[in-house]
Amino acid sequence: MNENQNLFAILRQSANSAVVDQIERLIQDAPDHELNRVNVLAFAAKHNLDEESTIAAFLHAARPGIFEMSWNVLCPGCGGVLDAGTSLKSLRQEEYSCALCAAGYEPTLDEMVEVTFTVSPRVRKIAAHEPDTLPMSEYLRQVFWSSGVDLPEDFEQRLEDIVLDAVELPAGERVILSLQLPPGFVIVFDPVTHAAQFLDVKGEPTRERQNLSMILSELHADNRILEVRPGPVRLLLENHAKHRTLPAVWLAGDELHKLMERRRPFLTAKRLLTNQTFRDIYRTETLDIDQRLKITSLTFLFTDLKGSTELYERVGDLVAYDLVREHFRVVNEIVASEAGAVVKTIGDAVMATFPNPEHAIAAALRMRDAMRSLNEERGEEDLLLKIGIHEGPCLAVVLNDRQDYFGQTVNIASRVQGLADSRSIYATGTVIDNPEALELIETRGLHPNLQKTTLRGINDEFAVYEIP
């Protein structure tokens, strides 16, 4: 048995076998570009696989070194990768700038950071392991643009229609391009250094040669729009970067925008942080202790057992301990199956996160049903679960050596749970206002009851709904 077979034998012990079979076929048969920055959600859709099982399988495959994970900061405008690292610890900038879009962005973990998987060179060597060898079209496809940009099948042909001229420029070299500029907006752009120069080509055409120059380096100069006239241009390009560059003259018109506008779902950092498999495998490797990364929307679910102290007194320590353990097992399983993750337990309470409100509502309803079933089996009302749900912005942080969350959203979710009675689910307006969450509730024949109340630490009256 060779090394790859050993790795897959190990993977089959922890991951879904159907997903592992497809991963093995991918590595054996797929062209090189399909093994670089794999979009896990697109892979699952292509092979009709469960998304959560697929995410878990790729995470387990990264642990022994079948794949290498990459956390990529994306430009929301063009979908380009602005920065990449092996973990969230590499995200240190307060703002990222996209030269192609001439815009700056504060990074958030919702849609600005994707997580992709590239096959390890020890498993299979692919061209992207040496990006300096990729031609421009493949560099753009595999390195510059993110896995969320759904490039068309005729990508190379469309690129030819957009690019007026292009050159491969070794480090330390210079080149002169002579070309005719048509009227319109033109960008001299290098996808390696992300250097860009905007040209507004307008006015009367000229036959006189116009001279322009541009230095390519990792240090991006302030980009001013230069006005030039339609006609001949002599463009001097100097590569001051440490690597080969791929400068090209792009027509910045409708065809370029159409090339970039098609998008597809991708695995966001937010979704991965709320994935139970990820939290189990990468408990202490996600963030540095001084990092504070923003999430614009995350759903928190808090649970607590009502009367657990009385339970220990009534049935004894051993029986109560087994009951509470069974309650934790059921809650953990439900959270994981609904695309969530348990952040921590506090006594008999659980704090969990979900990427959106509908998953949290689905989990809450299932938890309540599961506790009812456990009680019916015992013929006693021993496990009475109180649940509170809230959605909103927060910070991903490290607390007590583990990845955690901080902010008012967390505080509100905890206090909403404190309002609940036994067997009740309380959710805030941001949760109930989610169309998918409300549909899920109404499908069960349930009707949320509005209760305006006050929460400790919140000045204004707060709208909370009880799901009976």
Kindly state whether residue 390 falls inside one of the protein's structural domains. yes
Kindly state whether residue 408 falls inside one of the protein's structural domains. yes
Do 399 and 458 belong together in one domain?
yes
Do 244 and 308 belong together in one domain?
no
pLDDT value for 285: 66
- Kindly tell me if the per-residue pLDDT of 433 is higher than 90: yes
Q: pLDDT class for 309, splitting at 50, 70, 90?
A: low
Query: Which of 115, 132, 149 is the endpoint of a domain?
Result: 132
Q: What is the mean pLDDT of the chain?
A: 91
Q: What percent of the chain has pLDDT over 70?
A: 97
Kindly state whether residue 246 falls inside one of the protein's structural domains. yes
pLDDT value for 1: 52
Do 291 and 207 belong together in one domain?
no
Q: b/e map of 183-206 (b: 16 or more CB within 10 Å)?
A: eeebbbbbbbbbbbbbbebeeeee
Token readout for 405 is 């969350």
Q: pLDDT class for 93, splitting at 50, 70, 90?
A: confident
The pLDDT of 200-222, averaged and rounded, is 89
Do 290 and 405 belong together in one domain?
yes
Kindly state whether residue 152 falls inside one of the protein's structural domains. no
pLDDT value for 222: 60
pLDDT value for 19: 98
Number of domains within the chain: 3
Query: Which residues on adjacent β-strands are paired with residue 399?
Result: 402
- Kindly tell me if the per-residue pLDDT of 317 is higher than 90: no
Q: Which domain holds residue 162?
A: 158-261
Q: pLDDT class for 220, splitting at 50, 70, 90?
A: low
Do 334 and 233 belong together in one domain?
no
Query: Which residues on adjacent β-strands are paired with residue 96?
Result: 105
Do 422 and 363 belong together in one domain?
yes
Strands (DSSP E) found in 182-245: 184-189, 196-201, 210-216, 226-228, 231-239
Lowest-confidence range among 188-197, 213-222, 325-334, 417-426? Answer: 213-222
Kindly state whether residue 145 falls inside one of the protein's structural domains. no
Do 302 and 356 belong together in one domain?
yes
User: What is the C-alpha separation between 263 and 35, in angstroms, rounded?
Assistant: 19
- Kindly tell me if the per-residue pLDDT of 143 is higher than 90: yes
pLDDT value for 395: 94
Kindly state whether residue 204 falls inside one of the protein's structural domains. yes
Query: Which of 261, 296, 318 is the endpoint of a domain?
Result: 261
Q: Name residues whose C-beta falls within 8 Å of residue 313's C-beta, 6 or more positions apart in sequence.
A: none
The pLDDT of 18-27, averaged and rounded, is 97
Helix, strand, or coil here: 64?
coil
Q: Which of 102-111, 172-181, 286-295, 299-308 has the highest mean pLDDT?
A: 172-181
Do 37 and 122 belong together in one domain?
yes
Kindly state whether residue 270 falls inside one of the protein's structural domains. no
Do 37 and 116 belong together in one domain?
yes
Q: What is the CATH number of the domain that holds 395?
A: 3.30.70.1230
Do 342 and 454 belong together in one domain?
yes
pLDDT value for 461: 77
What does the DSSP assignment read for 353-405?
Answer: EESSHHHHHHHHHHHHHHHHHHHHHHTS----EEEEEEEEEEEEEEETTEEEE
pLDDT tens digits for 33-44? 999 999 999 999
The pLDDT of 307-320, averaged and rounded, is 70
Q: Which of 45-49, 305-309, 315-319 has the highest mean pLDDT?
A: 45-49
Do 126 and 165 belong together in one domain?
no
Kindly state whether residue 440 falls inside one of the protein's structural domains. yes
pLDDT tens digits for 369-406? 999 998 888 777 777 899 999 999 999 998 877 889 99
Do 108 and 17 belong together in one domain?
yes
Token readout for 266 is 């991708």
pLDDT value for 297: 96
- Kindly tell me if the per-residue pLDDT of 315 is higher than 90: no
pLDDT value for 420: 85
- Kindly tell me if the per-residue pLDDT of 435 is higher than 90: yes
69 or 95, which is more confident:
69
Model pTM score: 0.91
Q: Which of 99-113, 179-193, 284-298 has the highest mean pLDDT?
A: 179-193
